[in-house]
């Protein structure tokens, strides 16, 4: 299979998000404006909390996926932007609730809503964004898209409630981990690609199912790499301490693969079990995983999912949009932040 079939790009320098989003650059500007405009409310306190979270644009990967897949057929700018904004608002709402659940003080180097204000205002802000995202989708007048959107919310919640542990064998732990990230992260990628493909198109078009599978596999690859970066990136790049997952007892693929080769490392097992006796050993445990073969093994697993995503694009019409979708299968694996 050619390198293009795997990544959408020739061998060499990895593409960046900005270049890949070029086919929908103008759409993304409009979507970003629509997202920020959500904070323009008469309710001063809610407007304030919304501005804190919505002025940090991030990569806008989910709206970009929505816009790219919607560009595979004829749609209006307004409808594309409303669907893309809904996707980002849903994602943002889930992040706010995650930060409350995890008692996080910062995300990507910026104070969280719960740290800036309090948990009550954070939860209410997240609830408002869930409602606003649903309103935008309902306004599109497509019950099938509304159904996909609603199911994604349910998958997200179920994924959040899964708690992989080391109580059984590590193969079972890996399955639980993949089920968690499939619901918590990949379900939203799948929703973006599927609903973009459905917008003003035949919902039974085979490409709709293919693009959902593309998004699911791309999302899994993305999250696996995110979990690798928790060990390999710098604190400045992460906006949080290196190894935060391990320090907070969160089981991710690098730790699973490390324990397969080093089952007797009580530091890692103790930290994942939230045993305070191992807190002083956290730095050494993080470094042990960082320098181990587990990192490359996890990246290889991400590549498998990225390849599975690329395969789903075979048969799409050639052009800049399809090239960008291929390119994203390489970007999610090769990115460094």
For 320-333, write each residue's pLDDT tens digit.
999 999 999 999 99
- Does the pLDDT of residue 107 top 80, yes or no? no
- Does the pLDDT of residue 12 top 70, yes or no? no
**Averaged pLDDT, 72-89:** 97
Q: Which pair of structure tokens corresponds to residue 5?
A: 């079939």
Q: Which pair of structure tokens corresponds to residue 51?
A: 């501005």
pLDDT category at 7 given cuts 50, 70, 90 is very low
Closest CA to 144 of 88, 183, 202: 202
Closest CA to 186 of 83, 61, 89, 69: 61
- Domain assignment present for residue 305? The answer is yes
At 15 the three-state DSSP class reads coil
- The structural domain count of the chain equals 1
pLDDT category at 314 given cuts 50, 70, 90 is very high
Helix (H) or strand (E) holding 106: strand 106-107
CATH of the domain at 75: 1.10.600.10
Q: Which pair of structure tokens corresponds to residue 273?
A: 């079990």
Number of residues in the chain: 337
The alpha-helical segments, DSSP class H, found in 139-169 are: 143-161
pLDDT category at 123 given cuts 50, 70, 90 is very high
Residue 146 CB: number of other CB atoms within 10 A? 16
CA 290, CA 174: separation in Å to the nearest integer? 19
- Domain assignment present for residue 336? The answer is no
CA angle 83, 184, 290 (to 5 degrees): 125
- Domain assignment present for residue 219? The answer is yes
- Domain assignment present for residue 315? The answer is yes
- Does the pLDDT of residue 55 top 90, yes or no? no
CA 32, CA 54: separation in Å to the nearest integer? 9
- Domain assignment present for residue 1? The answer is no
Closest CA to 28 of 85, 75, 113: 85
Q: Could you list the residue range(s) of the whole structural domain that residue 130 is in?
A: 13-330
Position 304 scores a pLDDT of: 98
- Does the pLDDT of residue 11 top 50, yes or no? no
- Domain assignment present for residue 183? The answer is yes
Position 70 scores a pLDDT of: 97
- Domain assignment present for residue 69? The answer is yes
Q: What is the mean pLDDT of the chain?
A: 92
Rounded to the nearest 5°, which phi and psi values hold at 316?
-70, 150
**Averaged pLDDT, 217-226:** 97
Position 14 scores a pLDDT of: 61
Q: pTM score, two decimals?
A: 0.93
């Amino acid at each position: 299979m050619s390198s293009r079939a795997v990544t959408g790009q020739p061998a060499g320098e990895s593409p960046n998000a900005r270049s890949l989003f070029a086919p929908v650059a103008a759409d993304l500007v409009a979507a970003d404006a629509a997202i920020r405009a959500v904070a323009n409310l008469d309710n001063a306190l809610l407007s304030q909390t919304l501005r804190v979270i919505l002025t940090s644009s991030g990569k806008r990967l989910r709206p970009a996926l929505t816009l790219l897949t919607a560009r595979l057929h004829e749609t209006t700018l307004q409808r594309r932007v409303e669907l893309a904004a809904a996707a980002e608002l849903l994602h943002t709402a889930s992040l706010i609730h995650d930060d409350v659940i995890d008692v996080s003080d910062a995300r990507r180097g910026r104070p969280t809503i719960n740290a800036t204000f309090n948990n009550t205002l954070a939860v209410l802000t997240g609830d408002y964004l869930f409602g606003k995202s649903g309103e935008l989708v309902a306004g599109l007048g497509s019950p099938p898209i509304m159904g996909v959107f609603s199911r994604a919310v349910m998958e997200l919640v179920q994924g959040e409630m899964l708690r992989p542990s080391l109580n059984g064998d590590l193969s079972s732990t890996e399955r639980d981990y993949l089920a968690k990230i499939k619901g918590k992260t990949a379900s939203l990628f799948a929703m973006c690609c599927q609903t973009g493909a459905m917008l003003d198109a035949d919902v039974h078009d085979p490409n709709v199912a293919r693009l959902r599978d593309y998004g699911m596999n791309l999302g899994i690859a993305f999250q696996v790499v995110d979990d690798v970066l928790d060990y390999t990136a710098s604190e400045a790049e992460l906006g949080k301490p290196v190894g935060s997952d391990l320090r907070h007892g969160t089981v991710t693929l690098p730790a699973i693969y490390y324990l397969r080769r080093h089952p007797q490392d009580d530091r890692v097992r103790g930290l994942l079990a939230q045993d305070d006796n191992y807190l002083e050993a956290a730095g050494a445990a993080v470094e042990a995983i960082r320098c181990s073969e587990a990192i490359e093994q996890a990246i290889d697993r991400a590549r498998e999912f990225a390849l599975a995503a690329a395969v789903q694009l075979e048969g799409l019409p050639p052009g800049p949009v399809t090239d960008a979708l291929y390119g994203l299968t390489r970007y999610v694996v090769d990115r460094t932040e």
